[in-house]
């Protein structure tokens, strides 16, 4: 039997295994809301203590990871329907498998993450003419030089920004606006209540150390628009309006959506 891949990651990077596990478990269900065989393949190939980190994860947390992936897939599908040769940049990609679900055979895709994550990622995925991995913090600027985007470009960041202080994220968005006028950014956020809840219900229950705690909670969506006058809000996307979710979890999700505890934001940068 082939040896499993050994993991050597930092505290925040290890959180990438939680949504990966969630997608794999959903895929194995009889009637899954999301099918992600690539996630199953990675889960089965890696040497990681999933039973320990997932034994106390609530069902609603797992559903949130699934719905976030579905929402991302939906936005990307719309973008590439309008521009089949669009460029997608996956910020803080971890072991994300979105490309495998949405690829139309024409888009260009970049997976961006810290060097240790990319080393691990290369054990499961390969570069190609349209798919490339970049080892860098998204807070560096040099990686932007590697992005060849002639047409529409969409940056996605799922499970990333709330691990950083607000001023760090606002600074990043200003640099993005400088480099990519007309570009779009899709990312998930939590309210301050959502950050506290996630730290308690997910990070601490998974046995992660203090370095993996979320820190930035967004009070109001409009706060982001005040960071730079080039930022335009295209959409806010909630998670739990889906009849496939069981009634109990859908009711809890309704409260989350209503109070904007966790949701996604789709922005566009104004053209120069």
Comparing CA positions, the residue from 63, 48, 58 lying closest to residue 15 is: 48
Domain range annotation of the chain: 5-269
pLDDT digits (tens, 9 = 90+) for 66-106: 999 999 999 999 999 999 999 999 999 999 999 999 999 99
How far apart are the C-alpha atoms of 255 and 249, rounded to whole Å? 10
pLDDT digits (tens, 9 = 90+) for 170-214: 999 999 999 999 999 999 999 999 898 888 766 666 566 666 688
CATH of domain 5-269: 3.40.50.150
15-29, 52-66, 140-154, range with the lowest pLDDT:
52-66
Asked if 47 and 7 touch (Cβ cutoff 8 Å), the reply is yes
How does DSSP classify residue 76?
H
Beta strands at 184-190 and 262-269: parallel, antiparallel or unpaired:
antiparallel
**pTM for the whole thing?**
0.91
How far apart are the C-alpha atoms of 134 and 127, rounded to whole Å? 10
Comparing CA positions, the residue from 1, 67, 92, 7 lying closest to residue 43 is: 7
């Amino acid at each position: 039997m082939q040896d499993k891949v050994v993991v050597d990651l930092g505290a925040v990077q290890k959180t990438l295994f939680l949504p990966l596990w969630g997608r794999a478990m959903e895929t194995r269900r009889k009637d899954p809301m999301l099918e992600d065989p690539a996630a199953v393949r990675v889960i089965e190939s890696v040497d990681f203590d999933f039973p320990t980190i997932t034994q106390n994860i609530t069902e609603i947390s797992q559903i949130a990871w699934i719905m976030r992936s579905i929402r991302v897939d939906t936005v990307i599908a719309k973008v590439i329907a309008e521009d089949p040769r669009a460029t997608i940049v996956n910020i803080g990609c971890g072991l994300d498998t979105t490309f495998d679900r949405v690829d139309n055979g024409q888009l260009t895709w970049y997976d961006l993450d810290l060097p240790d994550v990319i080393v691990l990622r290369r054990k499961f995925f390969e570069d190609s003419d349209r798919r490339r991995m970049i080892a860098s913090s998204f807070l560096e600027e040099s990686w932007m030089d590697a992005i060849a985007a002639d047409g529409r470009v969409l940056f996605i960041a799922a499970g990333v920004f709330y691990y950083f202080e607000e001023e760090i994220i606002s600074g990043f968005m200003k640099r993005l606006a400088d480099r990519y006028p007309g570009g779009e950014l899709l990312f998930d956020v939590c309210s301050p209540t959502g950050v506290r809840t996630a730290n308690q219900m997910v990070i601490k229950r998974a046995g992660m150390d203090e370095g993996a705690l979320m820190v930035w909670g967004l009070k109001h969506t409009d706060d982001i628009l005040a960071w730079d006058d080039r930022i335009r809000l295209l959409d806010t996307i909630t998670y739990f309006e889906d009849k496939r979710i069981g009634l109990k979890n859908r009711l809890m999700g309704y409260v989350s959506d209503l109070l904007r505890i966790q949701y996604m934001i789709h922005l566009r940068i104004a053209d120069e």
